[in-house]
Amino acid sequence: MTARVLVVDDIPVNVRLLEAKLSAEYFHVQTASGGQEALTKVHDDPPDIVLLDVMMPGMDGFEVCRRMKQDPACAHVPVVMVTALDQPSDRVKGLDAGADDFLTKPVDDLSMFARVRSLVRMKSMFEELRMREETRQTLGLSDANALAKGRDPTGAILFIDDRLDLPLWLDTLSCLGNDVTGTSDFDAALTHTREHSYDAIIVSVSSPLFDGLRLLSEIRANPSLRNTPVIALVAAGDHRKLAQALDLGANDYLHLPLDRSEFVVRVKTQLRKKMYTDLLRQNVQRGMEMALRDHLTGLFNRRYLSQHLETVLKCASPAKPVSLLIMDIDYFSRVNNTYGHLAGDEVLRQFAGRLVENIRGIDLACRYGGEEFVVVLSDTDPNVACVVGERLRRAVEKAAFQVEQPSAQIPVTVSIGVASSTGGESSAALLRRADQALYRAKGEGRNRVIAEIAEAA
Ligand SMILES: [Mg+2]
């Protein structure tokens, strides 16, 4: 993994030492010797991660971190505080400032590389989602940011540990509004992870009673928990286990014995990230759904139809024919010209409604163009397709369309072309045949259903 790392430290020898270590692992390293320089650099050209010295003259690391996190240009860049102080109170101060992690001087290589890689991995996932989210925001479709900021993060948490005071820690989490489950048993933990979904999992990898690393890898192998953050609890000083835990996919870690304030802050951070990514994912999904729908009628659009028709035709056979209805509202331009476009849109919406009411749930209705619609009837022979077409034609003709702006009763009729395929044909060819039938229906006086009979094979 190549990533761009900004190293910030007021002492040149510290900068050079970290630079040498990181470069040897193929990271691209930039440097800054003070807070102001660092802020300018992250703003102008945000790196993938910042290693930030805490003790610096002028502006200290906490302040630099706070300002970075307030700058929209670089608020998403993960920050690792590098400190000679190893007091939990400093860690909490750093986390409050928005830091994502800590390294204690002298910096241990193994935990530094593992930590940097894990944070960069998380950042690239966020970035991917953020780009899609930006598109949605540009289109005015998004509310993810507002939602994520407004709520205090809570969720379902699984806590796997053998500590005697586990109930106290579970209480701490419950009091914050979380739904908490605790266990010290390997098999029980696995069962929980298979039967429930969690917003965060906390697992000790330093317990003599169960193999926490194996649990961690089982959790990561479970697709339904792929987006669930895992916090590993590691005995202080056990760098080997810590590196293994991070490599296996732990999102964060805490040293044992636990410090209560740090514990609470870290769990909240992971829950917030989970909540944020969940929202982004939902929005991306809705966005994809919307890209395949026609905005006016809510029917599928032409792009989706082509894809769907190809798939359906692949499964078609003489025993399982596919039929297609293509329909065009008669003299639709007169509706627009007489009543205006608002009324025209309303007619299209109501037409789509009548269409959907008169086909089966498995049939696919789509808006093909302005006033053109297509229905795909899978596993349907041409005779049945004509019956469906006739039913649709009557459903449109039988009652005028009631619009409000301007208030009017608009009589509407539709011409329908039908074609069927038993496979071995492209979607374009089938659409062309249906279109020819529609053309004949128009030519023969409109308001009728005409089937295109395929030449005998
Ligand atoms: Mg310093």
Q: What is the pLDDT of residues 4-21, one digit of tens each?
A: 999 999 999 999 999 999
- Identify whether the C-beta of residue 167 lies closer than 8 Å to the C-beta of residue 182: yes
> 133, 262, 346, 371: which one is catalytic?
371
Ligand 1 centroid to 219 CA: how many Å? 39
Cβ burial of 208 (10 Å; 0-12, 13-18, 19+) is exposed
The three-class DSSP label of residue 29 is: strand
Q: Tell me how far the alpha carbon of residue 327 is from its chain's centroid.
A: 36
> pLDDT tens-digit profile of 167-182?
999 999 999 899 999 9
Mean pLDDT score across all residues of the chain: 88
Q: Which residue has the higher pLDDT, 261 or 141?
A: 261
CA dist 393 → 249, 349, 448, 452 (Å): 59, 16, 7, 17
- Identify whether the C-beta of residue 201 lies closer than 8 Å to the C-beta of residue 157: yes
Residues across the chain: 457
Ligand 1 centroid to 422 CA: how many Å? 76
> pLDDT tens-digit profile of 134-155?
655 665 555 555 444 445 688 9
At residue 407, φ and ψ (nearest 5 deg) are: -65, 120
Ligand 1 centroid to 85 CA: how many Å? 11
> pLDDT tens-digit profile of 198-221?
999 999 999 999 999 999 999 988
Q: Which of 117, 226, 204, 221 lies closest to 159, judged by CA?
A: 204
Q: Which amino acid is at 232?
A: A
Listing DSSP states for 243-295 in one string gives HHHHHTT-SEEEEESPPHHHHHHHHHHHHHHHHHHHHHHHHHHHHHHHHTB-T
Q: pLDDT value at position 456? A: 43
pTM over 0.85: no
Homologous superfamily of 302-452 in CATH? Answer: Reverse transcriptase/Diguanylate cyclase domain (3.30.70.270)
Ligand 1 centroid to 10 CA: how many Å? 5
CA dist 454 → 137, 208, 438 (Å): 48, 74, 14
Q: Which of 290, 21, 251 lies closest to 142, judged by CA?
A: 290
Ligand 1 centroid to 425 CA: how many Å? 72
> pLDDT tens-digit profile of 18-70?
999 999 888 899 999 999 999 999 999 999 999 999 999 999 999 999 999 99
Residue 209: DSSP 8-state: S
In the block, tokens 């000083």 appear at 237
Q: Which of 339, 347, 234 lies closest to 296, judged by CA?
A: 347
Q: Which of 263, 88, 258 lies closest to 173, judged by CA?
A: 263
End-to-end CA distance of the chain: 58
On the question of a cis peptide bond just before residue 106, with omega within 30 degrees of 0, the verdict is yes
Ligand 1 centroid to 251 CA: how many Å? 28
Helix 166-175 / helix 260-291 crossing angle, nearest 10 deg: 50
Residue 255 bridge partners (DSSP): 234
Ligand 1 centroid to 65 CA: how many Å? 14
> pLDDT tens-digit profile of 300-338?
998 888 888 888 898 888 888 999 999 999 999 999 999
Compute the chain's Rg from CA coordinates: 31
Please say if 289 is a catalytic residue: no
Ligand 1 centroid to 281 CA: how many Å? 40
Whether residue 276 has pLDDT greater than 60:
yes
Ligand 1 centroid to 9 CA: how many Å? 6
Q: pLDDT value at position 147? A: 46
The beta strands (E) that lie in 205-319 are given as: 230-235, 252-256
CA dist 402 → 337, 351, 355, 370, 395 (Å): 17, 11, 16, 20, 14
CA dist 223 → 185, 193, 226 (Å): 22, 11, 5
Distance CA 214, CA 7 (A): 34
Ligand 1 centroid to 347 CA: how many Å? 71
Q: Tell me how far the alpha carbon of residue 239 is from its chain's centroid.
A: 34
